[in-house]
A and B are shown apart, each in its own frame.
Chain A
Amino acid sequence: MKTTRNVLSLALVLVLVLLPAFSAGTKEAAQGTVTLKLEQFSGSEATLSGEALRGMIAEFEKQNPTIKVELQTIGYDDYFTQLQSKVVGGNAADVFELNYENFVAYASEGALADVTSLLGDTSGFNKTALDAFNYQGVQYGVPNSFSNVVLFYNKALFDQANLAYPTSDWTWKDVEVASKKIMSLGKNIWGFYRPLTFHEFYKGAAQNGGSLMNAERTAFTVNLPQNIEAVSIMAGWQNDSKIMPTDADMAGMGDWDLFKSGRLGMLVTGIWAFGDFTANCPFEWDIAIEPGNVQKATHFFSNSYVVSETSKHPAEAAKLAVFLAGSKEAAKLRVEASWELPPVTYPEIIDSYLSITPPENREAVFASLDYLVTPPVSIQQAEMQAIIESYLGQILSGKQSAKAALDACQKELEAKISL
């Protein structure tokens, strides 16, 4: 009895030890094909975007029969932690996705391959988006999508409140007035939602004529008077005018869900909500350029495909990146899935993007591009954002005045973050 068990467990150990040796990889060299690993966070398996991505990969494999692509999609929350350990261990995927905010850190650490000469024709790319992934004169990646944020509004609530729909001339004042009327429609109906996060703050500061860094990005300017005013108004939406629900009011409900439930008049969020809202809003909705205070400013979000410095097939990897990011075929699939904006300039793609409704006013997406402000970026991006958000929390909870908090924030950033 005992011997049988020993033999069995020994066999089990042997199987476990030897198994990896027989797994994939040994076969492919013989057939002359190259297998590329692709890892990304945008798009999810379950939605239209996942289908579009699989379609793009299938098309690429059809055009390049000697290249096989292994896709792994990892949720945004875990993506960067696992990416870091893979990069450090030298096991990063051949092609992986980075957002604009994390791109600088990885480029400066030498984790990315220089693809300047491997990209081929890049004339189809939107220039702003392409240049975003150029670090110190070297192109380290290609934008695969870009997107911005607009004002979504619930037409039904506006009709009920006898209000005119938001236009591109609206300012924060108009939002406040309209919100109050919408809230008078009933209990648990809210006017506006725009949380005081790092991203909303840098944009809000710009909408009020301020900025978090100087133009050369060599110094922080977090406690400018314009920023202090902007942050006071933004916090006031929750604390003074109360047109915006607090975390307690939301009780764990997300902002998108609140909008879809028909109880929110206006929501500032990304155009990546189009697919979800089209499918799940039981009422009519539309969009407008986001209102500013003294001037307009809109978000620039961009994700990119980069090639790992450790990739054994950089040429093939760059080819895959360019195809997924900038080819007409891929852009078409992306548009059909309402999956952010393809970073391309092909007129027919842009036209087909505009022809899809809702929203009726899709032009606002492109009109918003005129007011793009790029986020402040540092090699210590995550730490910088966490510091800023901790002070925004102080302001929201009323523990510190906007001025005191931003003064302290400026000091801490100067001490901890090198620019």
Chain B
Amino acid sequence: MSIQGRRGIRVALPYLLPSLLGALLFAILPIIISLLLSVTNWSGMSRIRLTDGFLKFVAEHFVGLENTKAILADSEFWRALSHNLYFVVLYLPLMLVLSMICALIINAPNRGANVYRVVYYLPVLTSWVAGSLIWKWLLSPVYGPINNFLAIIGIEGPLWLQSEVWAMPSIVLASIWKDMGFYAMILLGGLKSINTEYYEAARIDGASKAQMFARITLPLLSSVLFYVSMLSMINAFQLFPQVMVMTKDGNAGPNGATMVMVERIYKYAFRYGKMGYAAAYSWILFVIIMAFTYIQKRGEKRWVNYDV
């Protein structure tokens, strides 16, 4: 490292310190603690102190990889994981297409662009709890507006959140409503950064709008699309508040239809008195997300184009 670099750090450190301290206290330290807890059988109901014999506590309650083994051997884990994957499969493509359409609408030279921008972004600013409650009401089988509307056009709506088949699609619907605006804004940023000269040249050559979209917009947007799909996949694995608020809590939805990983972690940590087990669960989730991100990153080379 050059002298300047080292001096740079000395100058930067005081400025970084406040946020570094926050990260250390509220992110890095808890991560280390959860790793230690994941090899214990701590119930999460007895008192422990970090400053007073914490390592001794860990040693006394040490169970090694027992938690991890028990989780992987339990069919419930695979069920929860499959529900997460089901969510991703429904959510990701729909999300990409719809947020792309939103971004294109906002980007088009029309008068109401700012209005659209606000409308699409509002759900992002709404808290998940409030949003979930609204959706719970919208999807209510008898009193809900959605089923009443379907009845008008002669369709008998499903039981939505109370139906084993429709519970997860309902959650996907609400999640897309909530997240679409966020991803649309990122895609919009990508659209704005595409040089307009490309389109002009294409137009002179007589390209149609569809051709321009397929041959210019999509390839040049691929890096942003990649980023969006990675981000939304990570979010999808962390699916939690909407499930907790919208579907029946005790059974994790109708017959466990919305039992997902983070919901399990929460239940084991705060309902079932198995904090060590829950910590191990979250590390498994971490590894899964890592693996999926790695696979996506590998695929990146095939289709992502960084020469804007």
Contacts and interface: CB of A to CB of B under 8 A. Distances in A.
Interface in A41-93: 80-81, 84-85, 87-90
A106 B43 CA distance: 10
Contact of B43 (A85, A90, A109, A397): A109
B45 A389 contact: no
A252 B274 contact: no
B270 A81 contact: yes
A116 interface: no
Nearest to B249: A77
A90 B48 CA distance: 9
B273 A251 contact: no
- Pick the most buried of B140, B164, B250, B274: most chain A CB atoms within 10 A of its CB: B250
B190 interface: no
Interface in A348-392: 379-380, 382-383, 386, 389-390
A393 interface: yes
B143 A88 contact: no
Looking at B44, B255, B268, the one whose CB has the most chain A CB atoms below 10 A away is B255
B4 to A, nearest CB: 29
B47 interface: yes
B164 A397 contact: yes
A293 B251 CA distance: 28
A84 B255 contact: no
A135 to B, nearest CB: 14
Given A84-B270, A251-B140, A379-B273, A310 B254 contact: no
Contact of B45 (A84, A383, A393): A84
B91 to A, nearest CB: 25
A393 B256 CA distance: 9
B272 A110 contact: no
B46 A110 contact: yes
A248 interface: yes
Contacts of B162: 247-248
B267 interface: yes
Residue from B47, B254, B271 with most neighbouring chain A CB atoms (10 Å): B47
A105 interface: yes
B273 A105 contact: yes
B54 to A, nearest CB: 13
Contacts of A89: 47
A189 interface: no
Contacts of A171: none
Contacts, number: 76
Nearest to B46: A109
A251 B143 contact: yes
Contact of A397 (B49, B255, B273): B255
Given A109-B45, A399-B255, A383 B141 contact: no
B142 A383 contact: no
B40 to A, nearest CB: 14
B47 A310 contact: yes
B251 A389 contact: yes
Contact of B271 (A106, A382, A397): A382
B159 A390 contact: no
Interface residues of B, number: 26
A interface, over-half SS: helix
A330 B68 CA distance: 50
A161 to B, nearest CB: 26
A88 B272 contact: no
Given A248-B141, A252-B141, A252-B142, A111 B251 contact: no
Nearest to B137: A252
A386 B45 contact: no
A126 interface: no
A137 B151 CA distance: 62
Given A251-B141, A393-B256, A386 B273 contact: no
A251 B142 contact: yes
A389 B159 CA distance: 21
Contacts of B273: 84, 105, 109, 379-380, 382-383
Contacts of A386: 250-251, 267, 271-272
A89 B48 CA distance: 8
A338 B256 CA distance: 37
Interface string A301-341: 00000000010000000000000000000000000000000
A191 to B, nearest CB: 21
Nearest to B268: A383
Interface in B250-304: 250-251, 254-256, 267-268, 270-274
Given A84-B44, A84-B273, 12 more contacts: A110-B46, A252-B140, A252-B142, A380-B274, A383-B268, A383-B271, A383-B274, A386-B267, A386-B271, A389-B250, A393-B256, A399-B255
Closest 10 CB pairs of A and B: A251-B142, A383-B272, A109-B46, A109-B45, A393-B255, A382-B271, A81-B270, A382-B272, A90-B47, A247-B162
Interface of A: 80-81, 84-85, 87-90, 105-106, 109-111, 247-248, 251-252, 310, 379-380, 382-383, 386, 389-390, 393-394, 397, 399
12 contacts: A88-B44, A88-B48, A89-B47, A109-B43, A109-B45, A111-B45, A248-B159, A380-B272, A382-B272, A383-B271, A393-B255, A397-B164
